[in-house]
Amino acid sequence: MTHLVKTLTLVTAAIATTGATAQLTSQSLVPDPNALSFDHVPNRIFVRFADPENSPINVQILDEVGGTIRSESKLVPGLVTVDTSIPVDRALKVLSSKRNAIKYVEPVYIVEAFDTIPNDPMYNDLYGMEQVRAHQAWDDHVGDQDFIIAIIDTGVDYTHQDLVANMWTNPGEIPGNGQDDDGNGYVDDVYGYDFSNYDSDPMDFNGHGTHCAGTVGGVGNNGVGVAGVNWHCRIVGAQFLSSGGSGSTDGAIDAVEYCAINQFKVSNNSWGGGGFSQALFDVVQAAGDDYGHIFVAAAGNGGSYGASYPAAMTCTNLIAVAATDINENMASFSQYHPVEVDLGAPGVDVLSSTPGNNYSYYSGTSMATPHVAGGVGLIYSVLGDSSATEVIDIILSTTRSIPSMEGNTVTGGVLNVAEALENTFLGPKITMVSSVPVEMDPNVALGVTVHVDPREDDLTGSVYLHYNDGDGWNMMAMDASGSMEYSASVPGMNCDDMPEFYVTCSGVVAGDVAHPSGGASNAYSWLVGNLVVAYEDNGESNGDWTVSTNSLDGGWDRGVPINCNRGDPSGDYDGSGSCWLTDNSSADGCNSDVDEGSTTLTSGFIYLTGIDNPTLSYARWFHNTYGAAPNTDTFLVEWSADGSNWYELESVGPSGPEVSGGWVHVAFGVNDFAGDVDAIQLRFTASDIGADTQSVVEAGVDAVMVTSVDCDDASDCPADATGDGYVNVSDLLAAIGDWGASDSAADANGDGTVDVADLLMMIDAWGACE
């Protein structure tokens, strides 16, 4: 309810602000009228275009300020960071006249960490944990080792003795190989990423970020140093502040977007300064709306009425934090406001980790904020699939009232982790006991065992196994097989099938719960048979590919995507680094694409002799929605068995959902389109030959493979017609039901007909399959 009150108040404030801004828009598109009075990066601005796809007009507008696009937002359409050849004040003035083409333009502010000089040690305990009642909450919950909290700051000393066990290590990244193994757009981001130097090492050489990390998630009960609000969690270093403690808002935006696309639910933001940034607002709000991200921000250390930015932003997924001292007085340096600042937390003489296995006392709203970020993480890790709004409502509605916060914050209180935890509800939790294979032999059942803990709820009815056999979803009740354990079997499947399953139960209060979350849309799956890779090309060499081009520009090229922001990929498909692309060059200012003609990429012969039922797959990229004549061209994929006669495999475009970029992975059975052939060639053609050649055409190809499924072990238990791992009455009934059929799992001897011979074989094999 508290958060609802705040939200309504903020909406009112936003309307009032919008009204004030509206009076300025006749003269300026800069959101903050005092923008130039704040420290900002020279010759760099944010621009948000009204029509992101009108590339020629947008480029023409930027030419007026000597602008080149530095980066493009991954969350907010049309938002770009631009380097200019003229001063910022002149650039803002020029671009403010482009009301039909630009939503807003603003400086890139310089911000700083919100801390003061560390005090001499005067306290030998963590008084803050008692103030926020964390010690009472720890009786019930000390964190979740899989829950990730980002420290957007000066980095984190990921080798610190009190943090190393709680550091996030990217499971999809191979350290030090110089490649983006997990395909998230960042190379070697093992512990996070540095958006100050734009490299993969977020090591802290300042101390501020490591101090915040220790309060959020210093390992607890390990006999070393301090304990964070979360004894167990995963800490990510999302660095954008330099070793000197300052940074710019474009780096902050990149850090927030990194958190969002990696689905980190909480970030600690103990920094601020500068004016109102509409660009930062849009990105933070999008991270909340699209990814459930909660942005916890420090109110500021000016000792003044009103929060600093970004804490003063009215994003619905933002919590602003003031600082209190050991006596629960408001810290003399803390900024405060009954609408802009949500709650207080300890921020004076806070002991926490610093680089090099050290510990120090720091003061600042920077130190208060990680108490709250840690509390948010603790609650969010319990609530699981809840929304950011639900978590924030619990945090703000359970604060502990104290006089120094009344009238100075929205809630009038300080963080109360124990009360917040009391207000969560722990519904049933399903966890896997058995493992899920990558591959299995045909006609072999998969035993599934799960642990179902009702926690604070009561189960209603049965626990169910849902499985998809290729013909649709089936459901069966699981048998209770032990203390809170349930078991059932997915029947064996045929060679080349890809079965799926998930498990559900129901709670009296929580209702239906699925594991994995999402149920059928996120089910476990595996391959029946063994995958054999007969051919693979991931674009790491030219190989025997050839290129022929009759266009004026934009021919096929192989390499690491440059991403010129004109519809071309920002990375390859499979994370190997390289792929085939049209116009992979920035030499002409990124204005090149396929122009007035076609470019064709042709493979060498892919030999198929001895491969049963081969499957051809590849990833493709196509974009044709930019330019004066969008949606007029196609991307053609063809095949040939002899190199002379070519046949269409697929044609993409000129319109539809697959012409706006993004890698699309497709697969085709070779026998289905080519019959039984010994070899095939492929060719990919991108063209600019439509009714009007003013379209911007970009294409890409990656991860070309030919695979087959080997099922040599298909007859290990041929009499098991039902695939449950046993030969029994159910198999006899299956044979009787399919009597005379030529295509049935009950054809145990494989002679093409279900008959008496199959019944006799079943009787002879009676019992469990070996």
Residue positions annotated with a catalytic role:
153, 208, 366
Question: Would you give the end-to-end CA distance of the chain in angstroms?
Answer: 61
Q: Tell me the three state secondary structure of residue 300.
A: coil
Query: Amino acid letter at 432?
Result: M
Question: Which tokens is 368 given?
Answer: 């208060």
**Residue 730 φ/ψ, nearest 5 degrees:** -60, -30
Q: Tell me the three state secondary structure of residue 587.
A: coil
Spell out a b/e string for 97-123, using b for 16 or more CB atoms within 10 Å of the CB, else e: ebeebbbbbbbbbebbbbbbebeeeee
Query: Amino acid letter at 716?
Result: D
Q: Tell me the three state secondary structure of residue 44.
A: strand
Spell out a b/e string for 384-414, using b for 16 or more CB atoms within 10 Å of the CB, else e: eebebbbbbbbbbbbbbebebbeebbbbbbb
Task: State CA 423 to chain mean position distance.
Answer: 28
CA–CA dist 627, 636 (Å, integer): 20
Distances (CA, A) of 145 to 141, 392, 530, 580: 11, 21, 34, 40
Pairing of strands 232-239, 143-153: parallel
| C-beta atoms surrounding 686 within 10 Å | 34
CA–CA dist 393, 265 (Å, integer): 15
Helix, strand counts (H, E) of the chain? 14, 42
| C-beta atoms surrounding 685 within 10 Å | 20
CA dihedral 257, 260, 264, 266 (to 10 degrees): 80
Question: Which tokens is 132 given?
Answer: 């926020």
Give the H or E element holding residue 394.
Answer: helix 388-397
Question: Which tokens is 120 given?
Answer: 């001499």
**Residue 176 φ/ψ, nearest 5 degrees:** 75, 10
CA–CA dist 727, 750 (Å, integer): 16
Strand partners, 619: 665, 702
Beta strands in 325-428 (DSSP E): 343-346, 350-354, 358-362, 400-401, 413-414
Distances (CA, A) of 290 to 294, 518, 660: 11, 16, 20
Question: Which tokens is 159 given?
Answer: 């080798």
**Residue 2 φ/ψ, nearest 5 degrees:** -60, -45
CA–CA dist 143, 445 (Å, integer): 37
Q: Tell me the three state secondary structure of residue 669.
A: strand
**Residue 248 φ/ψ, nearest 5 degrees:** -120, 160
